[in-house]
């Protein structure tokens, strides 16, 4: 029996209960490069095989991983393929499921917390916001290189979806270009659109960079990035910091009140009070 298990965003204790239970009874565990070593302590009885993929580093080819899964299924009763985040999010799960089923090996997928949701939890801001953001897109610019040469990879253009909030996985090297193209082509994003970058989310090495799309476009984050840590780039008005939202609301309210004032103006208290906006608009 084969199990594709989501390891979650990083911290060992964010794996699901079912995922942890399966690690505890697995005969062999094939794990991604970014899986926390502490998580592998949950399977002391199992053979542990690293099969991770890291951009720019020596990595396991997908066809080789597939073959090892098939070979292991003929020797072991319980096989766990431990994948970072959620198995079904940018993880080539479909290829591994397909090859296992083709060899009549039963497969179960155990979901995990994907990095975008862990990132939203870390900054305590929703990816959507009533009246501001109604759509979210998860994007990756990473290209599979098993069948592509370097020229083909470089020829790939950045295609940004039309969503209110955008979350880019594995976008560190393209961060400035992402910002430039959004400013030029997206009706939902401007130079003042908030950007929140998180590295190593949910781990003890977690770091944050908060600024605007304009600052990202001119390379202000380039020297901030740590090339050894996974980065998540989150873009959209829903990510505007709480104090900025309060200040913006207060300014709008003040302008509305001033526009209503005149020498002969008479106010109805109920109407005047109704113009005062509270931060309750941030509720989901």
Residues identified as active-site: 32, 53, 170
Strands (E), the chain: 2-6, 28-31, 47-50, 79-83, 107-110, 136-140, 165-169, 194-199, 207-212, 231-235
Spatial separation of the C-alpha atoms in residues 266 and 284, rounded to whole Å: 36
The closest of 132, 27, 3, 236 to 15, measured between CA atoms, is: 3
What does the alpha-carbon distance between residue 74 and residue 279 come to, in Å, rounded to a whole number? 59
Q: What are 231's two structure tokens?
A: 């980065």
Residue-by-residue DSSP string for 150-163: HHHHHTPPP-----
Q: How many residues does the chain have?
A: 284
| H/E element, 37 | helix 37-40
């Amino acid at each position: 029996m084969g199990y594709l298990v989501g390891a979650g965003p990083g911290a060992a204790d964010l794996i699901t209960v079912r995922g942890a239970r399966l690690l505890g009874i697995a005969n062999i565990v094939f794990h991604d490069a970014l899986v926390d070593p502490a998580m592998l302590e949950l399977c002391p009885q199992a053979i542990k095989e690293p099969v991770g993929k890291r951009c720019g580093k020596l990595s396991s080819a997908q066809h080789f991983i597939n073959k090892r899964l098939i070979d292991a299924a003929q020797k072991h009763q319980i096989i766990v393929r431990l994948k970072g985040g959620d198995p079904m999010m940018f993880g080539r799960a479909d290829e591994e499921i397909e090859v296992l089923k083709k060899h009549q090996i039963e497969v179960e997928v155990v979901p995990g917390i994907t990095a975008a949701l862990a990132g939203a939890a870390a900054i305590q801001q929703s990816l959507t916001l009533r009246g501001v953001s109604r759509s979210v897109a998860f994007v990756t610019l990473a290209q599979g290189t098993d069948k592509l040469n370097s020229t083909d990879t470089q020829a790939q253009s950045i295609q940004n979806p039309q969503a209110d909030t955008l979350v880019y996985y594995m976008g560190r090297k393209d961060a400035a270009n992402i910002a430039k193209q959004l400013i030029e082509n997206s009706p939902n994003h401007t130079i003042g659109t908030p950007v929140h970058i998180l590295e190593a989310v949910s781990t003890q090495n977690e770091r944050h960079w908060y600024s605007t799309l304009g600052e990202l476009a001119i390379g202000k984050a380039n020297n901030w990035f740590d090339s050894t840590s996974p980065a998540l780039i989150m873009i959209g008005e829903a990510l505007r910091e709480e104090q900025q939202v309060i200040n913006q609301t207060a300014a709008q309210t003040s302008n509305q009140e001033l526009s209503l004032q005149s020498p002969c103006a008479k106010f109805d208290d109920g109407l005047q009070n109704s113009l005062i906006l509270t931060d309750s608009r941030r509720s989901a």
